[in-house]
Amino acid sequence: MKKSEIKKYKNESFKRIPIKTKIILKEDNILDLVEKFVKPKLQKGDILTISESPLAITQGRAVLVSELKIGLLAKILWRFVKKTKHGVGLRSPSSMQCAIDEAGGLRILFAAIIGGLGKIFGRSGDFYRIAGKQAALVDAAFTSPVPPFDKCVVKGPIHPEMEAQKICDKFGCETAVMDINDIGGCWMIGGSSKIDKDFLEEIMNDNPQGQGDELTPFCIIRKID
């Protein structure tokens, strides 16, 4: 179903404008991409959002599964990750290995132990609270429809706040890096200094950029009368 381009927030209306680009590669520079694809459409007062995976790709954070060396810990732990409606996550050896590479084996093991104990007592979310943001941001392979990244695990972007501020400083629009999916997950993982996290997570929670092969890594948010 096509999502409405207009969404209300606190009795005000905002237009969401997804920006189509080419396939983004690690050779691309995020500022150059904004210059080419976004700047011609920007207006004063606009807010810009960037999907976290394309930003991560420009940082060289996409790793081919065939190039990963899967360790014993990853081979053991991925089997204990519960399959959920939210996607594969760390329920694969390759994505678990990337989480271990990011957070460290001891931290992931400790997170797994505490997370398992928490579930016994009816608690959820302990694993990711301990494992940290980068473990939570790992996107499993074979979930993207866009080659060559369909065969890659994509780690979360580094320094998303800094990247967002660089874009804001150059182009004059408040900017946020978002992790969004089609089943209600919406998380601002970094933003420029004046960004409103609660506003953005509400205005973008139906994922107007889409989850498939739309090639719309940017979205302009514009207040309308």
- Fill in the amino acid letter for 170: K
- What pLDDT score was predicted for residue 7? 92
Per-domain boundaries in the chain: 6-61+157-224, 63-154
pLDDT tens, residue order, the chain (225 aa): 346 799 999 999 999 999 999 999 999 999 999 999 999 999 999 999 999 999 999 999 999 999 999 999 999 999 988 766 666 789 999 999 999 999 999 999 999 999 999 989 988 889 999 999 999 999 999 888 888 999 999 999 999 999 999 999 999 999 999 998 755 579 999 999 999 999 999 999 999 988 777 899 999 999 998
Cα dist from 84 to 76, 87, 88, 172, 183, whole Å = 19, 6, 7, 40, 11
Residues 6+ apart with CB under 8 A from 162: 190
- What pLDDT score was predicted for residue 144? 85
- What pLDDT score was predicted for residue 82? 76
The tokens for 10 are: 């606190």
E strand spans, the chain: 6-9, 12-19, 47-51, 62-64, 152-154, 174-180, 186-191, 218-224
Q: With contact defined as beta carbons under 8 Å apart, do 206 and 139 qualify?
A: no
Q: What is the C-alpha to C-alpha distance for residues 220 and 17, in angstroms, rounded to an integer?
A: 5
CATH number of 6-61+157-224: 3.30.1330.100
H-helix or E-strand containing 164? helix 160-171
Cα dist from 1 to 9, 120, 208, whole Å = 21, 39, 11
- What pLDDT score was predicted for residue 93? 96
